[in-house]
Amino acid sequence: MKKLFAEFFGTFWLVFGGCGSAVFAAGVPDIGIGLLGVALAFGLTVLTMAYAVGHISGGHFNPAVSFGLLAGGRFSAKDLIPYIVAQCLGAIVAAGCLYTILNGAGAVDFSQPGAFATNFYGEAVYNGKAFSMGAAFLAEFLLTAFFLIVIMGATDRWANGKFAGIAIGLALTLIHLISIPITNTSVNPARSLSQAVFVGGNAMSQLWLFWVAPILGGIVGGLIYKFLLQRDADEIVD
């Protein structure tokens, strides 16, 4: 149960901090944090929780990470569903808190694509560019695959584990810097679900992509690290 609570609170913090920064602080004129600030906020949520509770649960906070670590031989299949449930519940509760705070400022308008930090494809939200479903799928797939490679490499027994949280947090920051203009960045099905539940409409109808692409990417990333990059015990590095 401690592992599940750790995943719950870790995912809660990721959504509350990352999506909260996008909802409340990104677009404030003159003093807003912008897309760079939102990207950094997401990275900081993972970095801080990796050190706070990562030693308890492994610090997944993301169903795609759990699937990827399972494929990479770092996670038990019997824990997969409980972890995903805990992650999704943590994300939804965090989104509920964000909604309650936002609603306290008056009527909430979710009519625009990307509202409430939801993910999207085929919508010209940033710079007048609307990326196709295929482009969005490829971006989410590749970024999640590389995220798993970073996670597995940084937490490998041959790596310096003290700095794993920093590497993983910075990787998530970089991922957001690349893909916020494309999809508002998911690479995390629980994060996508939590916001879409409150917005509905297109956010729900497009949600499938932000489950399928990250999970497939996570699995491929886990397999790549396991079979192409992971050192065997008897290997010697010059």
In a domain, 171, yes or no: yes
Q: What is the pLDDT of residue 106?
A: 81
Task: From 212, 173, 198, select the one nearest 103 (Cα to Cα).
Answer: 198
Q: Assess contact for 133 and 177: CB atoms under 8 A.
A: no
For the stretch 160-206, pLDDT in tens is 888 999 999 999 999 999 999 999 999 999 999 999 999 999 999 99
Is 105 exposed, middle or buried, given 0-12, 13-18 or 19+ CB atoms closer than 10 A? exposed
Average pLDDT, the chain: 95
In a domain, 238, yes or no: no
Q: What is the pLDDT of residue 236?
A: 55
Q: What is the pLDDT of residue 80?
A: 98
pLDDT tier for residue 234 given thresholds of 50, 70 and 90: low
pLDDT at 238 over 70: no
CA distance 45 to 72: 24
In a domain, 206, yes or no: yes
For the stretch 23-45, pLDDT in tens is 999 988 888 999 999 999 999 99
pLDDT at 222 over 60: yes
In a domain, 234, yes or no: no
In a domain, 237, yes or no: no
The residue with greater pLDDT, 213 or 1, is: 213
What ranges in 72-188 are assigned the alpha helix state H? 80-103, 133-154, 164-183
In a domain, 235, yes or no: no
pLDDT tier for residue 73 given thresholds of 50, 70 and 90: very high
In a domain, 144, yes or no: yes
Q: Is 201 helix (H, G, I), strand (E, B) or coil?
A: coil
Q: Work out the average pLDDT over 213-235.
A: 91
Q: What is the pLDDT of residue 235?
A: 64
Q: What is the pLDDT of residue 149?
A: 98
| Stretch among 9-13, 152-156, 227-231 having the lowest mean pLDDT | 227-231
Domain ranges, residue 84:
1-228
In a domain, 140, yes or no: yes
| Percentage with pLDDT > 70 across the chain | 97
CATH (domain of 52): 1.20.1080.10
Q: What is the pLDDT of residue 109?
A: 86
Structural domain total, the chain: 1
Q: Work out the average pLDDT over 228-238.
A: 72
pLDDT at 159 over 80: yes
Q: What are the residues whose beta carbons fall under 8 Å from the beta carbon of 149, sequence distance 6 or more?
A: 221, 224, 225, 229
